[in-house]
Amino acid sequence: MRSVDFNHVEEKHAEIHRRLEEWAIWVKPRSASWVQPMFRQFRSADVWVAPEARGFVDAIAAQAVEKAVTALPDAHRSAVQWCYVFRTGPLKMCRALGVNREGLAMLVRDGRQMLVNRGVLRVGEARARIAA
């Protein structure tokens, strides 16, 4: 079995990769609480852990990326969301999409290219011109 590097980003996709990473920070998926109502005062051990400092994320640009990602075809959207937001093991996503590892990597790469083709990068450029 060939090894697939899911962290590899082509040079021409460097800017969209950066935008997708910022979008992933903005999305912040939350898991459902498993605490029963009778344990309302329950505090998990991670309450005492210092919060992680995050950099500034342009919410307008992140919303534009979100809109563009949701407009992708189903397989590409799921692959991009998996790669940037959910970050679970690749086998589970491969099974869900019915592809092998190389196919999953191609879906992520093609999804990035579709976002570039649809002009996602221009949203941030226009915002930067307004701020200047």
Could you give the C-alpha distances from 67 to 61, 64, 103, in angstroms and in order?
10, 5, 24
pLDDT, position 28: 74
More confident residue, 42 or 89: 89
For the chain, give every domain's residue range. Answer: 13-26+57-131
State the DSSP code for 37: G
pTM: 0.75
Q: How many CB atoms lie within 10 A of CB 16?
A: 22
- Check pLDDT > 60 for residue 126: no
Tokens representing 16 are 């969209």
| Third-level CATH fold of 13-26+57-131 | Arc Repressor Mutant, subunit A (1.10.10)
Alpha-carbon gap, residue 58 to 55, rounded angstroms: 10
pLDDT, position 74: 95
pLDDT digits (tens, 9 = 90+) for 32-88: 555 555 555 555 656 566 666 666 788 888 899 999 999 999 999 999 999 999 888
